[in-house]
């Protein structure tokens, strides 16, 4: 905060090369439910002095607006990642259902399994089509905050729901972390939280009605 009295207009962003300053520390690796490949940590800045010329954009007080400007892009990326992971889960489940046998035949031969995977595949295609629409709007400079929020909401909701249904196809094996579907399941949950919770996405969409 470069001006505590100005609220949002008193926030500025700085670029810091942390290996060239004192006072920067990384905490322990936090144990998360999923996404264990990311070394998520708490960062502390104790009496760390940053040169004034490290101000991002060269104009003080623009930090909040610089962050807000990137939110639609961030939310679109999260939505796309969600749909991509949902599609990966469907492909894993289809592959498994073709080789896993029960009662003398592949479980894909059972109508319930086929129906579940048919629904998941259909929902993935519909979500991918919407993401393509949003990407085109972004490239045209027309992606508004409400539509970006829809992308994040839809993509992550579908990711969590579809991966859950695909995990069920694997039965007990789906609960073992050595199987990719279990890793997908654990990693998916946070998608509905970061980048703005999905409840906030609904609020933003609702304001545009």
Which residues does the annotation mark as catalytic?
74
Give residues with Cβ within 8 angstroms of 128, minimum separation 6.
Answer: 83, 87
Angle at which helix 180-188 crosses helix 145-170, to 10 degrees, equals 140
Torsion sign across C-alpha atoms 153, 155, 158, 159: negative
Q: What are phi and psi of 105, to 5 degrees?
A: -150, 160
Contact 159, 83 (CB under 8 A): yes
């Amino acid at each position: 905060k470069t001006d505590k009295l100005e609220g949002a207009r008193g926030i500025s962003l700085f670029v810091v090369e942390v290996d060239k300053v004192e006072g920067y520390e990384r905490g322990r690796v936090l144990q998360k439910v999923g996404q264990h490949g990311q070394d998520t940590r708490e960062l502390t800045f104790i009496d760390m002095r940053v040169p004034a010329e490290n101000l991002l954009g060269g104009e003080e007080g623009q930090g909040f607006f610089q962050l807000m400007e990137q939110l639609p892009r961030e939310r679109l990326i999260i939505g796309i990642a969600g749909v991509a992971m949902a599609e990966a889960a469907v492909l894993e489940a289809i592959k498994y259902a073709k080789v896993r046998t029960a009662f003398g035949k592949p479980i894909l031969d059972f109508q319930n399994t086929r129906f579940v995977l048919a629904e998941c595949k259909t929902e993935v295609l519909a979500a991918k089509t919407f993401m393509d629409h949003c990407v085109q709007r972004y490239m045209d400079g027309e992606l508004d905050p409400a539509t970006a929020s829809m992308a994040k909401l839809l993509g992550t909701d579908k990711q969590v729901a579809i991966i859950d249904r695909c995990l069920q196809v694997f039965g007990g094996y789906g609960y073992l972390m050595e199987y990719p579907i279990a890793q997908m399941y654990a990693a998916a949950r946070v998608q509905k939280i970061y980048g703005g919770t999905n409840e906030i996405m609904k609020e933003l969409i609702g304001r545009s009605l």
